[in-house]
């Protein structure tokens, strides 16, 4: 029912807010980190026209295992197996070095499920817009440029998933190339 869905969405936002409470974005202002997962879910709904609750809940939780003490078991118990499996798909293996994780994101993008690809698209769209808005603390222009290049390679593996999100990403990549 509608009431049940609303209840689980708010439970999820609350869970994520508590888990991410001590974390900040990398911008100068130190924006609360929770703005990011909420923003990614919002992009999926407002711009991607995605209304599948499983995708929205997984989007709200997409960085929670990577960045907090939350376990997949906790996600499974609180939000079910389907959500947990999508969060697994979008979570990097933290036992690997950072450069290897980034390489694997490019290599594995096209093998992911449709739902995981949707989250990848919205996640990159949010982060690239964030980078356009402000350069993270300590980043050189070169590092920003590398990040755009890497993101484009990941996104190229997620194409054919959502027309609107891919179009928005292409606007950003076109702007970028015009600058370089």
* Residues at the site binding ligand NDP, with contacts judged by CB under 6 A: 25-27, 36, 63, 98-99, 102, 123, 127, 130-131, 136, 140, 142-143, 146-147
Within 10 A of 78 (CB to CB), how many other CB atoms are there?
Answer: 16
Determine the length of the chain: 180
Q: Which residues contact 70 (CB under 8 A, 6 or more apart)?
A: 19, 61, 64
Of the pair 25, 117, the CB lying nearest ligand NDP is at 25
Of the pair 16, 84, the CB lying nearest Zn ion is at 16
To ligand NDP, the closest distance from the beta carbon of 70 in angstroms equals 14
- Residues numbered 99 to 128 that lie near Zn ion (CB under 5 A) are 123
89 in contact with Zn ion (CB under 5 A): no
How many angstroms separate the CA atoms of 61 and 86, rounded? 10
Catalytic residue among 27, 28, 47, 66: 66
How many angstroms separate the CA atoms of 138 and 152, rounded? 22
To Zn ion, the closest distance from the beta carbon of 63 in angstroms equals 5
How many angstroms separate the CA atoms of 10 and 175, rounded? 36
Of the pair 21, 143, the CB lying nearest ligand NDP is at 143
Contact 169, 155 (CB under 8 A): yes
Is 4 in the active site?
A: no
To ligand NDP, the closest distance from the beta carbon of 1 in angstroms equals 32
63 in contact with Zn ion (CB under 5 A): yes
DSSP class per residue in 69-95 = S--HHHHHHHH-HHHHHHHHHT---TT
Of the pair 41, 84, the CB lying nearest Zn ion is at 41
To Zn ion, the closest distance from the beta carbon of 120 in angstroms equals 9
Catalytic residue among 67, 74, 82, 92: 67
How many angstroms separate the CA atoms of 151 and 134, rounded? 17
Residues at the interface with Zn ion (CB under 5 A): 63, 123
């Amino acid at each position: 029912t509608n009431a049940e869905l609303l209840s689980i969405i708010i439970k999820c936002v609350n869970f994520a807010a508590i888990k991410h409470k001590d974390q900040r974005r990398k911008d100068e202002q130190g924006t609360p980190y929770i703005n990011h997962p909420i923003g990614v879910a919002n992009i999926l709904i407002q711009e991607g026209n995605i209304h599948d609750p499983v995708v929205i809940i997984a989007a709200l939780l997409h960085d929670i295992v990577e960045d907090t003490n939350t376990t997949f078991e906790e996600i499974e118990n609180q939000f079910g197996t389907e959500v947990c499996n999508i969060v697994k798909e979008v979570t990097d293996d933290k036992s690997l070095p950072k450069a290897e994780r980034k390489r694997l994101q490019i290599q594995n993008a096209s093998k992911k499920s449709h739902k995981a690809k949707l989250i990848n698209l919205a996640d990159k769209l949010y982060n690239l817009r964030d980078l356009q808005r402000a350069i993270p603390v300590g980043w050189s222009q070169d590092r920003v440029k590398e990040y755009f290049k890497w993101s484009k390679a990941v996104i190229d593996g997620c194409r054919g998933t959502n027309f609107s999100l891919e179009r928005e990403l292409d606007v950003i990549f076109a702007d970028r190339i015009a600058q370089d």
